[in-house]
Amino acid sequence: MLMRGFNYKKAVQALNFLAEKNGSPLNKMKAIKLIWLADRLHLRTYGRTITGDVYFALPYGPVPSTTRDILEINSFSLSDDELNYSNEYLVITDKLNYNTNKVPNTKVFSKTDLDILEKILEKYGAFDQFTLSKLSHQFPEWKKYESALKQKVASRFEMNYIDFFEDVDDSTKLFIADPSSTQLAKDIYLEDQKMSNIL
């Protein structure tokens, strides 16, 4: 249940899973938005994200930073292990799209990880990257930085997972939850953060 930072194998396999299920090649921005939605829903339901990535608010919405580095093949930010693993499963076809290179290894996921990824694909998979970007601007974790982004105070702002626990009433109703269950997931997350600081 514990988060303990970024899990590159889960991030790569989530990208791979989305490309295989939603159709290859897959637009990078669309994949990033789907992963954000999956991380958000998993956090609100089980007290941890799937990838453990650090999120930033950018003009086009929330971005999982290291997952994006994987799609950009950013050798300055990624370790050799991360680069080699991503190259085994993903092929960057051009600046905007990527392809699956190998059947996803779903063994890296828990059952809940896969359930949430499937649910996000079912509800949001038909949307294109621009629809998902526009949708993300309704969410509080991005909205709190909207004004600063428009004023170009900075090009990006680090987001706080606590904001992911706020309800959002979009067309899917996925992010409207029973307050007690959301509070339980939040308590699990906060306890994990406390333990991380102790360790």
Q: Determine phi and psi for 172, rounding to 5 degrees.
A: -85, -25
CB atoms within 10 A of CB 128: 11
pLDDT > 70 fraction of the chain, expressed in percent and rounded: 97
C-alpha to C-alpha distance for 52 and 79, rounded to whole angstroms:
16
pLDDT, mean over the chain: 94
Q: Which of 155, 133, 158 is nearest to 55 (CA)?
A: 158
User: How distant, in Å, are the alpha carbons of 50, 57, 173, 192 from that of 115?
Assistant: 11, 26, 17, 22
Give the pLDDT confidence of 66-79 residue by residue, as tens digits: 999 999 988 888 99
So what's the pLDDT on residue 163? 97
So what's the pLDDT on residue 199? 58
In the structure, what pLDDT confidence band is assigned to residue 1 with cuts at 50, 70 and 90? very low
Q: Is 27 helix (H, G, I), strand (E, B) or coil?
A: strand
C-alpha to C-alpha distance for 32 and 34, rounded to whole angstroms:
5
Asked if the model's pLDDT at residue 4 lies above 80, the reply is no
Mean pLDDT of 98-115: 96
CB atoms within 10 A of CB 14: 28
So what's the pLDDT on residue 195? 84
Mean pLDDT of 162-190: 95
Long-range CB pairs of 172-178, under 8 A, 24+ apart, other chains included: 172/123, 172/124, 174/37, 174/41, 174/119, 174/120, 174/123, 175/40, 175/41, 175/44, 175/139, 177/44, 177/45
Q: Which of 65, 162, 50 is nearest to 113 (CA)?
A: 50
Residue 5 Ramachandran class (φ > 0 left, ψ -120 to 50 alpha, else beta):
left
Q: Is 176 helix (H, G, I), strand (E, B) or coil?
A: coil
Give the pLDDT confidence of 7-37 residue by residue, as tens digits: 999 999 999 999 999 887 999 999 999 999 9
In the structure, what pLDDT confidence band is assigned to residue 100 with cuts at 50, 70 and 90? very high
So what's the pLDDT on residue 2? 41
Give the pLDDT confidence of 38-57 residue by residue, as tens digits: 999 999 999 999 999 999 99
So what's the pLDDT on residue 3? 45
Report DSSP state, residue 62. Answer: E
So what's the pLDDT on residue 142? 98
Give the pLDDT confidence of 124-144 residue by residue, as tens digits: 999 999 999 999 999 999 999
Strand partners, 117: none
